[in-house]
Homo-oligomer: A and B are copies of this chain.
Amino acid sequence: MDPVTIKDIARALNLSTSTVSRALRDSYEISPETKRLVMEYAEKINYRPNPIALSLKGNSSKALGVIVPQIANNFFSQAINGIEAIAYNRGYHVIIFQTHESYERELANMQQAVARRVDGLLLSLSSETSDLSHIKALHAQGMPLVLFDRVADELNVSQVVADNFTGAYAATAHLLSTGRRRIAHLTIPPYLSITQERLAGYRAALDAYGVPFDENLVRYGTFGPDEADQLVDELLAQSPRPDAFFTASDRLALGCLKALRERGIAIPEDISLIGFTNLQAAEMLNPPLSTVTQPAQEIGQLAAERLIELIERKHKAAPVSTVKLPTVLTVRGSSQRDPAGS
């Protein structure tokens, strides 16, 4: 693992560094014999080109920046898993940044990533971010950029997301189809694209079933801990009381489940619950949690693939693409309330 350089090879073989360099790159202008010599010796002493030098020379660092709100999160850790897998196969490295849901941190992280000369950036917006000028600026400068999960349509940047609308629609429609009519929606901060899409899916399903939308049934949480109790109480205080909950994050699903249980409310008999979550072991919960899940790893993979594609054809005009991956609705336990439900 010693830092053996092209110079060492040149010296040992009594060649110039340029010859060695060309031989290693299998250049046509080098004699087969010399090539063989160089290749063999390089192999023997386990030569590895110095990526730092390559970065400095060329304009590619072979590094991908990944900026996410939180690593310690089922969705994002799975997505990063997908990203890392693709990146590794394509010879890229992954530099991780967390925004902790802070706009300031997002900005700082982007600057750091740029300073690091990453070849491209995978970005999932913080929930505080409403001003998108930093991203526009970076994109305008030609930095390859792919947004995933938490995106922004106004950005005209490639995106990879789950089909949040359809997922939310399916969840809500399922609740409606089992006779629920007062469906509360416990969701995450309103700026986020995923919040809006899920809300839209929820509303569309209500519409389709002719159930009027009641904004009092929608509550926005943050990603902080222990907030579910209060939100659930607010919702339970509505009249008539909700007969179903549709929650938008792991934490809210768990918090809601717990709050309902603690208040002696039977799930799904009294109140039915579906969570938009990537929680593990949803089926092992008490009661089992019905879920809409996102293909997190696949989202990460596709985003990374897209980004690398963007990077490697940087010269050509970069087409903007949006990929929407299907979510999966898994119903657990019987939530049938009114078999005759319209």
Contacts and interface: CB of A to CB of B under 8 A. Distances in A.
B73 A77 contact: yes
Interface in A80-138: 80-81, 84-85, 88, 93-98, 110-112, 114-117, 134, 137-138
Interface in A219-261: 250, 254, 257-258
A137 B1 contact: yes
A93 B112 contact: yes
B78 A1 contact: no
Nearest to A70: B81
A285 B122 CA distance: 35
Nearest to A112: B93
B281 A1 contact: no
Contacts of A283: 258
Interface of A: 1-3, 48-53, 55-56, 61, 63, 70-74, 76-78, 80-81, 84-85, 88, 93-98, 110-112, 114-117, 134, 137-138, 141, 250, 254, 257-258, 279-281, 283-288, 297
Given A96-B94, A281-B254, A77 B84 contact: no
Given A77-B77, A94-B96, A281-B281, A71 B84 contact: yes
6 contacts: A52-B55, A93-B116, A95-B95, A258-B283, A284-B286, A286-B286
B297 A72 contact: yes
B115 A50 contact: yes
Q: Copy number of this protein in the oligomer?
A: 2
B61 A72 contact: no
A1 B88 CA distance: 27
A77 B85 contact: no
Contacts of A288: 286
A76 B74 CA distance: 11
A71 B61 contact: no
Nearest to A287: B286
A93 B93 contact: no
Contact of A111 (B48, B77, B78): B48
Nearest to A48: B115
A254 B279 CA distance: 13
B53 A111 contact: no
Contacts of A141: 1-2
Contacts of A280: 250, 254, 279-280
A212 to B, nearest CB: 33
Given A51-B115, A72-B297, A254-B284, A84 B96 contact: yes
Contacts of A286: 284-288
Nearest to A283: B258
A84 B96 CA distance: 8
Given A48-B111, A51-B115, A94-B95, 18 more contacts: A1-B111, A1-B141, A48-B114, A49-B115, A72-B297, A76-B77, A80-B96, A84-B96, A93-B95, A96-B96, A254-B280, A254-B281, A257-B284, A258-B283, A279-B281, A281-B281, A285-B286, A286-B286
